[in-house]
Amino acid sequence: MRSAQFDRQIVIQAPTESTDANGSVTETWATWKTVYASRLDIRGSEPMDREKVNAMLNVRFRIRYLSGVTTTMRVKDGSNYFDIGSITQSMKRRMGTDLMCVQRDA
């Protein structure tokens, strides 16, 4: 993998829980890792949901090999957020990690 492929910086965020003074638990997102990646938009669709159109964009982010990433995390690319649907690790000399993601716009 050539470093020229990784033309954008993304933030991988993990869910965290915090408790306020009233004891209410709130889920927030915290930065887990900031890495360089390449992005490939795979396809977009607009499924109908009770007369409301939800735009979906499937994206593959390819990063250098990184262990510890899970599907409970999300990717922040600029001002857009993507749910991680699946993770593929290249086992050949730990060459890279592909994050298959979905962006949803309401």
Residue ranges and CATH numbers for the domains of the chain are: 3-105 (2.40.10.270)
What global pTM score does this model have? 0.80
**Residues of the chain above pLDDT 90, percent:** 55
Contact indicator for 59, 42 with CB cutoff of 8 Å: yes
What does the alpha-carbon distance between residue 80 and residue 78 come to, in Å, rounded to a whole number? 6
pLDDT at 15 over 50: yes
Count CB atoms within 10 A of the CB of residue 61.
22
Give pLDDT tens digits for 22-73. Answer: 889 888 999 999 999 999 998 766 555 555 555 678 999 999 999 899 999 9
pLDDT at 47: 58
